Amino acid sequence: MSRLLWINGPKLGRLGQRKPELYGTRSLEQIVSDVRSLAEPLGIEIVHAQADDEALLVEAVARDSARCDGIVCNPASLTPSGLALRQALDDSGLPVAIVHLTNVAVRRDWSERDIFMDVARIYVAGAGWVGYQLAVLAFDALLQGRIPR
């Protein structure tokens, strides 16, 4: 069985309540359940962590990455400035998928670039919560050797 660490950044615990016109009406709990339902038949276990505090996300990467085969991360509001989390992902040595619910390239000012982009082996933006499922499917292909590492 493969294992993916799934990190969700600040404010994502309020999905379904916060700006539903932008982020959708599904709660994080519903999304986690759906992603686990997709991953399980593929032989992938999901280890999930969400925090509004960057230090807690860095701790989750340090604590859990050694027992995982890859990391899916939505840095959320840390996207332009989460240097500690970015470094933790890079230092893990694992392939990383960065997922954004919206297309951050068109939503952010040019000065607020995505500092996580260059640590991403897989990058999904603008697909809503389905982006998490796309990341799991991409990781499955990567781990099975169907796409090059």
* Domain residue ranges of the chain, discontinuous segments joined by +: 2-143
Q: For this structure, is 23 an active site residue?
A: yes
In Å, how far are 25, 54, 70, 72, 117 from 46, measured between CA atoms?
A: 22, 20, 10, 10, 22
Residue of 48, 100, 123, 132 with catalytic role: 100
Task: Region of 33 please: left (phi>0), alpha (psi -120 to 50) or beta.
Answer: alpha
At residue 13, the pLDDT reads: 92
Task: Summarize pLDDT for 29-38 with one digit per residue, the tens.
Answer: 999 999 999 9
Q: For this structure, is 48 an active site residue?
A: no
Topology of the domain covering 2-143 = Rossmann fold (3.40.50)
* pTM as predicted: 0.94
Is the pLDDT score of 110 beyond 80?
no
Provide the pLDDT confidence category of residue 20 given band limits of 50, 70 and 90: confident
Q: What is the mean pLDDT of residues 61-81?
A: 96
Residue of 23, 48, 123, 132 with catalytic role: 23
